[in-house]
C-alpha cells in the first residue's frame, strides 16, 4: 500500500495528501511506526494480514516524482507481481466522499501515477482512488489541491481519509475482490 503525498508541513492536511494521510492512519491504527530505512525513498512499515505480511509506505519524494521511491521499496518487499501493488491517491474525477478500487486503467492526468507508471513501465497496478472533486475553475487547481482546509471542509476531508483507511483495512484483511465490492458499492 503506497499512499501518495507531498512532503513538508506546508502540504499537511491538503486534498492532495489524502493517499499518504490514509496510509499513515492505517499505520497508527495498527500501532506500527513508519520508518525511513537506509537506501529507501519511502517511510514504511510491515503489518501482518491473514494472507501474510504487507507493507504500508509513503514516499519521501514530491508527488510528481513518486515513481522514484518504487524500485527500492519493491526490492525491500520482494514484490514481483505488480498487481499486488496498491497506490492510494487523490482523484479529481471523483466527488468528495467517493472511493474507487480498481486494477489498472488510465492515469487521468495524475502526475504521481504518471511517474509510477513510467518507472514501472506499466499501468497494471491497483489504485485506491479517493475523491476530492474538481476546483471551481482550472486556474484554481493548485490552490484547490494544495490549500489547507478549515471548518466543515477540513472535517469532511478527515472523514474521507478515515473512509480511505477503512478501505485499506478491508484490502489488508479481506483481499482485493472483497474490498473492491465493498468500496465500489
Domain count along the chain: 1
User: Exposed, middle or buried: residue 138 (CB in 10 Å: 0-12, 13-18, 19+)?
Assistant: exposed
Catalytic residues: 16
- pLDDT of residue 175 exceeding 90, the answer is yes
Helix axes 111-120, 70-77, angle to 10 degrees: 60
Q: Which of the four pLDDT bands, split at 50, 70 and 90, describes residue 157?
A: very high
- pLDDT of residue 72 exceeding 90, the answer is yes
Rounded CA-CA distance 35/42 in Å is 8
- pLDDT of residue 108 exceeding 90, the answer is no
Mean pLDDT along residues 73-97: 94
Task: State the residue for C-alpha cell 484554481.
Answer: 140
Question: Which has the closest alpha carbon to 168: 20, 17, 23?
Answer: 23
Q: What was the pLDDT predicted at 148?
A: 86
Q: What was the pLDDT predicted at 133?
A: 94
Q: Which of the four pLDDT bands, split at 50, 70 and 90, describes residue 178?
A: very high
pTM, two decimals, is 0.96
Q: What was the pLDDT predicted at 109?
A: 87
Question: Which has the closest alpha carbon to 106: 140, 48, 45, 92?
Answer: 92
Q: What was the pLDDT predicted at 166?
A: 97
Q: What is the pLDDT of residues 18-31, one digit of tens each?
A: 999 999 999 999 99
**Mean pLDDT of all residues in the chain?**
95
Q: What was the pLDDT predicted at 162?
A: 98
Range of the domain at 168: 2-184
C-alpha to C-alpha distances, 104 to 21, 63, 113, 161, nearest whole angstrom = 22, 19, 11, 22
What's 130's domain CATH number? 3.40.50.1470
Amino acid at each position: 500500500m503506497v499512499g501518495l503525498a507531498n512532503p513538508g508541513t506546508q502540504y499537511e492536511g491538503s486534498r492532495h495528501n489524502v493517499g499518504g494521510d490514509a496510509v499513515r492512519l492505517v499505520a497508527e491504527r495498527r500501532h506500527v511506526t513508519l520508518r525511513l530505512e537506509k537506501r529507501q525513498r519511502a517511510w514504511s512499515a510491515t503489518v501482518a494480514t491473514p494472507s501474510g505480511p504487507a507493507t504500508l509506505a509513503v514516499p519521501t519524494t514530491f508527488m510528481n516524482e513518486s515513481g522514484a521511491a518504487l524500485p527500492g521499496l519493491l526490492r525491500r518487499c520482494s514484490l514481483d507481481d505488480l498487481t499486488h501493488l496498491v497506490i492510494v491517491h487523490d482523484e479529481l474525477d471523483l466527488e468528495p466522499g467517493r472511493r474507487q478500487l480498481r486494477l489498472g486503467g488510465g492515469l487521468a492526468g495524475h502526475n504521481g501515477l504518471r511517474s509510477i507508471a513510467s518507472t514501472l513501465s506499466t499501468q497494471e497496478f491497483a489504485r485506491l482512488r479517493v475523491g476530492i472533486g474538481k476546483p471551481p475553475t482550472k486556474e484554481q487547481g493548485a490552490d484547490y489541491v494544495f490549500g489547507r482546509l478549515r471548518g466543515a471542509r477540513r472535517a469532511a476531508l478527515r472523514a474521507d481519509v478515515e473512509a480511505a483507511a477503512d478501505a485499506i483495512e478491508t484490502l489488508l484483511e479481506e483481499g482485493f475482490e472483497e474490498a473492491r465490492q465493498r468500496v465500489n458499492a
